[in-house]
Amino acid sequence: MNGIWYTLPLIMIALIGCVLGLRVLVRKLLSGTYKAGEVVDPYRPRNFAIPDPIKVEFEGEKHTILRGRFWKGESDKAIIVVHGIDGPSIEMLPHVSYLYRAGYSVLLYDNRGRGNSDGGFSTLGFLEWRDVLHAIHWVRGQPGIAAHKIGLHGLSLGAACVIMAAAKDHQIRGVLAESPFVSMPIMLTHVANKMTRLPKFLIGELVRVLLDWSLETKLRLVEPHTAVKNIAPRPLYIIDAEEDQLFPIDTAQTVYDAADEPKRFWKVRGAAHANCWHVMPEEYEQRALDFWADVFSGKPLARNPTQASAKEPENYEESTTPANNSTASS
């Protein structure tokens, strides 16, 4: 019997070690795949007919230093581009290119725990959307940028973050969000269920509690589906991938349906998650530039320029749009 009492402390120490080790493992798994200095061709500014950027840094949430690149355009309008969870931000250079060439200033920065930014690991949107607010503040402080002429463009996790940031900052003029999710708890439940086949009601809550403890977050607060209601009357453009293999079917449509007018929706045929530009680059660029031209012109936003139905968005046309003529000069 006495041996049990001697053994129990050892068991407790072992359990504590396992739990702490699990916390370290979670943070390690959510640390950046791409870190400083890792630039992968063809994602270099010179390959997109844009000049080398100004390297910048600013303080994000909880005093984390975020680093990125800034291109000063010819107009007083700016777009902040936010990448997805695994990055790297340089994969967003195609968007920087057409925006800059149209006259916009563009800020592209590395999310916390990614690229050159500090932070150690991703918090799955809990701090990242607040980092977008800090990025907005930084852009507003740049010479020649009008404080009320800033738009947000986000991809996947970045899409969720720009929706939440715009819902908070009412001076933001418009939002383009590609492949946003409904909420982080729903997203975690879906992914965990696919990986383990355990019941959703069980595995989803377990994963959320583990991540909240490991990352010191409250992921139930990462709710783009709720925040999107606060973007109107400013314009919103949701772009969805038809063959999204990561998120539940109709996730982006659900976010779109939760938003009030004015809004647009486009489902891209044959596109995988966060891959819409690669499938239809010319049409994507034209649609994005047309959207931003309408946003900054102040004229009423047509829901979908070629098709009025929200339930049947203009999703399956072939890409026949001519080279873009939209600029930021309006």
Domain presence at residue 288: yes
The rounded distance, in Å, linking the Cα atoms of 177 and 154 is 5
Domain presence at residue 71: yes
53: helix, strand or coil: coil
Query: What per-residue confidence (pLDDT) applies to 85?
Result: 85
CB 250 within 8 A of CB 243: no
Residues 12 and 89 in one domain: no
Query: What per-residue confidence (pLDDT) applies to 213?
Result: 65
35, 180, 55: which is closest to 118 by C-alpha? 35
Residue with tokens 């607060």: 221
What is the b/e burial string over 213-245, where b = at least 16 CB atoms within 10 angstroms of the residue's CB?
A: ebbebebeebbbbbbbeebeebbbbbbbbeebe
Which tens digits make up the pLDDT trace of 242-279?
998 888 778 999 999 999 999 999 999 999 999 999 99
Domain presence at residue 143: yes
Query: What per-residue confidence (pLDDT) applies to 134?
Result: 98
The CATH number of the domain where 247 resides is what?
3.40.50.1820
- pTM across the whole model: 0.81
167, 91, 173, 178: which is closest to 130 by C-alpha? 167
Domain presence at residue 249: yes
How many structural domains does the chain have? 2
Residues (pLDDT < 70) of the chain are 1-44, 46, 190, 192-205, 208, 212-217, 219, 305-326, 329-330
Residues 137 and 25 in one domain: no
Which tens digits make up the pLDDT trace of 13-64?
443 444 444 444 444 444 555 444 444 445 667 678 889 999 999 999 999 9
- CA end-to-end span of the chain: 84
Domain membership of residue 6 as a residue range: 1-30
Residues 150 and 6 in one domain: no
Domain presence at residue 214: no
CB 151 within 8 A of CB 176: yes
Residues 266 and 125 in one domain: yes
User: What DSSP line would sit under 140-160, residue for residue?
Assistant: HTSTT--TT-EEEEEETHHHH
Residues 13 and 65 in one domain: no
